Amino acid sequence: MTERQSSRLRILHVAAKILDQHGEPQLRISEVCKKAKVTAPSIYHFFGSREGLIDAAHALLFTQGQTELGEAFGEETYACTSKSGFAAIANRFARAAFSDARRHVRSRRASVLGRAQNSETLSEQLNAFQNESNKLIGDPLRFAQAKGWVRSDFDTEMFAAWFVGMTTARCFIEFGDTHPKAAQWDTIAIRAVFSGLGLNPPASKRS
């Protein structure tokens, strides 16, 4: 990574953290400069304006959670040696994506999608970031296809995009307190994932 790329990423990560913790009103160029150890001209050079920086930070936040799960999913999948082992990995990661612990990630993602409807710049950045994220999950799925663990008649990157969309859609039962039927949503979602992959779904847990 060049020094120029490093500076841009440092600025972006600082801005994303401020945005996530405090919101747009608290994202000040002077504060980003201080924490990223850069000067204001660097920010305007990379992002054009404060609004451009905010859009880029929103795009990073949108895919941050996906990147973390995608990298871990890839590591475990490439180390896997059996179809049953892969099914266990798929089950664990799908449930992690739907878990209450990631509720904030889903809410943040939905918020960014709303903002993107009125920002062509953000929409373009989301498209670029999401394509990278799709590949991050799609590559290990292709590995699983080559092993014969999952069906071969689907595009793995589009499966990744669909999965992110379905995960984000869990927001529909998360507007208030924990929904009393949230576990049923998870069961339906897990079945859909396993059906798409061509795997037998795990046995439902009875309460």
Map out the domains of the chain as residue ranges. 1-48, 58-197
For the chain (length 207 residues), average pLDDT per consecutive 10?
77 93 91 94 94 91 86 97 97 94 90 89 89 94 98 97 94 89 95 97 67
- Residue 135 near residue 158 (C-beta atoms within 8 A): no
The two counts, helices (H) then strands (E), for the chain are: 9, 0
Which residues have C-beta within 8 Å of that of residue 150, sequence separation ≥ 6? 86, 141, 144, 197, 198, 199
Q: What's the CATH architecture for 58-197?
A: Orthogonal Bundle (1.10)
Cβ neighbours, 10 Å, residue 180: 8
Look at residue 66 in the predicted model and tell me its pLDDT: 85
Q: Which CATH number fits domain 1-48: 3.40.50.1950, 1.10.10.60, 3.40.50.620, 1.20.1050.10?
A: 1.10.10.60
User: What pLDDT score was predicted for residue 49?
Assistant: 93
DSSP string, 167-201: HHGGGGG-SSS--TTHHHHHHHHHHHHHHHHT-PP
For 52-78, the pLDDT digits (tens) are 999 999 988 888 878 888 999 999 999
